[in-house]
Copies of this chain bind each other. A is one copy, B any other.
Amino acid sequence: MISNEYYSQDIHGPFELYDIGDFDLEQGGTIPNCKLAYNTLGNLNSAKDNAILVTTWYSGTTKIMEQIYIGEDHALDPQKHFIILINQIGSGLSSSPHNSPAPYGMSNFPDVRIGDDVRAQHKLITEKFGIEKLALVFGASMGGQQVWEWAVRYPDMVQRIAPIAITAKNTPHAFIFADTLNEALISDPNWNGGNYKASSDVKVGLFRQARLWAVMGLNPEFYRQEYWRNMNFSSAEDFISGFLEAYYEPLDPNNLLCMAWKWQRGDASRNTGGNLQEALGRIRTKTLVMGFTGDMFVPQTDLEFEQKMIANSELRMIDTICGHFALFALEPEYMPQIDKNLEDLLSSSV
């Protein structure tokens, strides 16, 4: 356990902690007094049918989801919906390597799976709020892996899902890419087997990871059109330093490794003995898959391959120049497309 001011109420709050008790993990091992950091916006109606769950991506917390995707001017409007935002295990706000005491903390934190996250979220939602139906489960990238898992694991509880830029079963290419992200961290000369004293000790590795994201999170067209100018950066290098390195610098490397392990092995077909067709066939939920044009590691072909196996489903591509990092809403044209799609989905009968 080490302190890291980045994962604080000041920066990511307000959030509450819900203790789900000692939590046994699919891969073996237990997180004692596992805590989920969550936040809610809006009010649960008396029918308890206006609840929307929002999950978090690799490296992100609920704060960025709230800032980008939620508000009176968006489809996810707290005036209409009761929005529950839950931080994934390993995110740095919920139980994570950096904030867990010995002997479970840091590099000894157990391996966590997407299924663990979703079981933990299910406990929070049913126990704390007594909610039996979710009008929508929404998440992007790794957050979308949790969305897929919800639909396959609890098909009767979810009415609509909207996973963005992610497949239900992680792809081999994305697995190999994530390996390079991990390698960027553990090759830091101060890595020390994951037992560094402060995340800043591993700054070289974090910056190295940021530069891999510069290649894979964006894409050639983003740089050719110098889209970073619209973000008030003076050069590609300035963008990488001022946006990407700045974003990754405060993060905890063990937290990132925990999330990456989970991301790499994300696979909703674990619920059906590895049969993806059967897993996706289980989904009765109204399903709107969204993808990003020019996404370097979640291309349209991979999304289509799965979407075609889902009965009540549709794939809509979001037109963007930013590739995977479109999810940061770097373009003014981004949220109008997302909102339109989510409005269509939320207004559809189930």
Interface residues of A (CB under 8 A from B): 171-177, 179-180, 183, 187, 189, 204, 208, 211-212, 214-216, 218-224, 226, 236, 240, 296-299, 301-302, 305
Per a CB cutoff under 8 Å, which of B175, B220, B297 touches A299?
Answer: B220
Q: Shortest Cβ distance from A122 into chain B, in angstroms? A: 31
Q: Answer whether A180 and B224 are a contact pair too, CB < 8 Å, given A218-B173, A236-B172.
A: no
Q: How far is the CA of A218 from the CA of B172 in the complex (A)?
A: 12
Q: Shortest CB–CB separation between residue A298 and chain B, in angstroms?
A: 8
Instruction: Say yes or no: B189 contacts A224, CB within 8 Å.
Output: no
Residues of B within 8 A of A221 (CB): 299, 301
Q: Which one, B187, B218, B219, B298, contacts A208 given CB within 8 A?
A: B187
Residues of B within 8 Å of A297, CB to CB, are: 215, 220
Assess A219 versus B187: contact at CB under 8 Å? Given A212-B180, A296-B296: no
Main secondary structure of the interface of A (DSSP, over half): helix
Residue of B nearest to A235 (CB): B172
User: Cβ of A179: which chain B residues have Cβ within 8 Å of it?
Assistant: 211
Further 10 A-B residue pairs, CB within 8 A, beyond A173-B215, A173-B218: A172-B224, A173-B220, A173-B223, A176-B214, A179-B211, A183-B208, A183-B211, A219-B299, A220-B297, A224-B301
Task: State how many angstroms separate the Cβ of A324 from the closest Cβ of chain B.
Answer: 12
- Taken together as a complex, chains A and B put the C-alpha atoms of A305 and B223 apart, in Å, by 13
Q: Select A216's contact among B215, B226, B236, B240, beta carbons within 8 Å.
A: B215
The CB with the most chain B CB atoms within 10 A, among A218, A220, A298, is that of A220
Residue of B nearest to A301 (CB): B221
Query: Which partner residue on chain B sits nearest A214 by CB separation?
Result: B176
Name 13 A/B residue pairs within 8 A (Cβ), A-sorted. A171-B224, A172-B226, A173-B220, A174-B220, A176-B211, A176-B240, A180-B211, A187-B204, A187-B208, A219-B299, A221-B299, A224-B302, A296-B296
